[in-house]
Amino acid sequence: MHQLISDLQAAQVGEILTNEKLAPYTTWKIGGPADLLIIPEDKQKLAATVRLLRQHETPWTIIGRGSNLLIGDKGIRGAVIKLSRDFENLRFEGETAYVGGAYSFIKLTVMAGKEGLTGLEFAGGIPGSVGGAVYMNAGAHGSDVSRILKQAEVLLDTGELITMRNSDLQYAYRHSVLHTLPGIVTEAVFELKYGDRKQIASALAAHKARRLRTQPLQLACAGSVFRNPEGNHAAKLIEEAGLKGTMIGEAVISPLHANFIVNTGEASAEDVLALIALAQRTVLEKFGVELQPEVLVVGER
């Protein structure tokens, strides 16, 4: 590890932090330390970082804005990569949006609306980065990323930068090929359409108001914990199973929205995982439905 750090410093890749606690970098505010947290300055430095990690046979994990992510209490071994502000770029060319992987997905919807561009209204309240949204095929209100993404620029674990078209990403419900093909989304290109600014603003406002009314967004959480089973809703099943408000440690199944688990103070990853297991077990016993987590669980427990 010392030689890796020395090589990273020699390459001047950017900020390098050792034994850095990851909880502050996640929306759940949960997570132990990373052996290394690396924040590369730009695309070239990111590629150099990945190549050096490969050379030193060091595993790495990418975190975006830390939503939809549960990090184990013992943290992550190897390296954790977080994109710098250099990846928060945005430009519009007509009806096409070119967006950096670290750009806020919510902010993108606002900026597109100001341009009079429609197609992103569904994402008005989806937290996280653009890269994470591309990775997860984020969606809501009957639409998702797969419907508007033209292509994504992806840095592979070899350090090679490639362009993946929509079809290359093999999109499905909350899934893309990136789940099995290690890579980092550095830029996304979305195809939008000009629309009525007032209608766009109204739709965004309605989606935001609904989320604020029905979701515990003022508390530390990670968005929906489970995928919706086909023809049903995870929140409905968990609520009908009588689990709303159930607490383990300082984690609780939200009384406001049963598909959210909130950190009420100093919840551990183990607290959250225990609630996830309880919800899965109870819903399976009562309704015969297997709930599948939507959040990514990484690191050591």
Rounded distance, CA 74 to CA 54, Å? 23
Q: Are 120 and 186 in contact (CB under 8 A)?
A: no
287: CB partners within 8 A, 6+ apart = 237, 240, 241
Q: Are 261 and 255 in contact (CB under 8 A)?
A: no
If residue 203 lies in a helix (H) or strand (E), which one and from where to where?
A: helix 197-214
Which residue is catalytic, options 174, 176, 254, 268?
174
Q: Are 24 and 66 in contact (CB under 8 A)?
A: no
Active-site annotation holds for 174: yes
**Phi then psi dihedrals of residue 25, to 5 deg:** -95, 5
Rounded distance, CA 124 to CA 204, Å? 6
Q: By C-alpha distance, which of 120, 269, 85, 116 is closest to 191?
A: 120
Active-site annotation holds for 224: yes
* Three-state SS letters, 27-80: CCCCCCEEEEEEEECCHHHHHHHHHHHHHCCCCEEEECCCCCEEECCCEEEEEE
Output the six-digit token pair for 226.
């489970």
Rounded distance, CA 271 to CA 249, Å? 6
Numbers of helices and strands, H then E, in the chain: 7, 18
Q: Are 278 and 266 in contact (CB under 8 A)?
A: no
Q: Are 85 and 103 in contact (CB under 8 A)?
A: no
- Catalytically active residues, by annotation: 174, 224, 294
